[in-house]
């Protein structure tokens, strides 16, 4: 009986030892690959080796103890144009970083004492880069005119620019994409989106200027950003079908939540 117990203990210890050895030798990071899910324009000069180095993933570390959030933050802060979709573990010892390239959509003008720079932003208002010339962007970017009193973050590449009702820009962008427009269409047909904040009444108005000359103004977009975005899209498409150029309208929301249009 005692012999059987010793054998059982020995087998248990052997199994534990085997598991420890496997985890420390077999299930460790031996190779790291990069996989872009989108085409590359702004990131073509960034090598896979540079991306892997910026991730701080260490060869030989356990695949069961990867700090994925930290790796993602490290990559995206080093290369703002890169969005890490996921970090995949392919057992037993391979790691694959799946990424997309962020697409520039908006720009904001940053005027200094002697120079004028432009802050390049994606649809989520993430700062991609600061440039002094916009000519490389084709089609052109959409000018986001946001008063400084609304902005509550700085313009360092990698940061997200936050301001009161900042999701309105993203909602407007998504409304166009959901309706079949591409990023290039959105950038090509909209010249600027401006926000005017009235602190006394805590009111934010929006003005969208199109390349066709049409202007759509929305009053107090706090009340329902998605409804206003869909109304802007609908009114723009109405202008297209009627071949109306240079016309202006004003959108507002009544007490029941319906959008009213004033020509």
Residue 107 confidence (pLDDT) above 90 = yes
Please tell me the distance from the alpha carbon of residue 97 to that of residue 33, in angstroms, as a whole number: 6
At 255 the pLDDT is 85
Instruction: Give the tens place of pLDDT for each residue, 29-49.
Output: 999 999 999 999 999 999 999
Q: What is the average pLDDT value for the chain, to the nearest integer?
A: 88
For the entire predicted model, the pTM comes to 0.85
Dihedrals phi, psi of 242, to nearest 5 degrees: -95, 0
pLDDT (average), residues 70-78:
97
Please tell me the distance from the alpha carbon of residue 43 to that of residue 158, in angstroms, as a whole number: 14
Beta bridge partners of 132: none
At 192 the pLDDT is 96
At 215 the pLDDT is 94
Boundaries of CATH 3.10.20.310 in the chain?
Answer: 2-101
pLDDT category, 25, cuts 50, 70, 90?
low
At 211 the pLDDT is 93
**CA–CA distance from 17 to each of 57, 92, 93 (Å)?**
26, 18, 19
Sheet with strand 203-210: strands edge to edge: 127-131, 116-121, 106-111, 142-146, 190-198, 203-210, 215-218, 248-253, 259-262
Instruction: Give the tens place of pLDDT for each residue, 134-183.
Output: 999 998 999 999 876 677 677 889 998 887 667 788 889 999 999 999 99
Q: Does domain 2-101 have CATH number 3.10.20.310?
A: yes
Residue 217 contacts residue 209 (beta carbons within 8 Å):
no
pLDDT category, 225, cuts 50, 70, 90?
confident
């Amino acid at each position: 009986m005692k012999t059987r117990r010793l054998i059982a203990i020995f087998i248990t210890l052997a199994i534990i030892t085997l598991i420890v050895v496997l985890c420390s030798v077999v299930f460790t990071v031996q190779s790291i690959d990069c996989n872009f899910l989108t085409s590359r324009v702004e990131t073509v000069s960034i090598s896979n080796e540079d991306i892997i180095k910026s991730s701080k993933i260490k060869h030989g570390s356990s695949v069961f103890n990867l700090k994925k959030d930290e790796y993602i933050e490290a990559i995206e802060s080093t290369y703002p144009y890169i969005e890490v979709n996921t970090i995949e573990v392919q057992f037993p010892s391979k790691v694959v970083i799946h990424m997309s390239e962020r697409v520039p959509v908006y720009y904001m003008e940053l005027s200094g004492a002697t120079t004028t720079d432009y802050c390049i932003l994606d649809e989520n208002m993430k700062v991609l880069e600061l440039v002094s010339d916009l000519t490389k962007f084709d089609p052109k970017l959409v000018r986001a005119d946001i008063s400084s009193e609304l902005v509550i973050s700085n313009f360092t590449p990698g940061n997200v620019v936050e301001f009161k009702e900042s999701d309105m820009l993203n909602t407007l962008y998504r409304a166009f994409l959901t309706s079949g427009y591409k990023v290039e269409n959105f950038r090509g047909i909209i010249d600027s989106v401006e926000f005017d904040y009235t602190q006394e009444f805590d009111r934010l108005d929006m003005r969208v200027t199109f390349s066709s000359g049409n202007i759509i103004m929305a009053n107090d977009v706090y009340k329902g950003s998605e409804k206003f975005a869909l109304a802007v899209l609908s009114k723009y498409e109405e202008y297209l079908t009627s071949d109306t150029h240079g016309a202006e309208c004003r959108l507002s929301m009544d007490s029941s939540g319906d959008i009213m249009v004033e020509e």
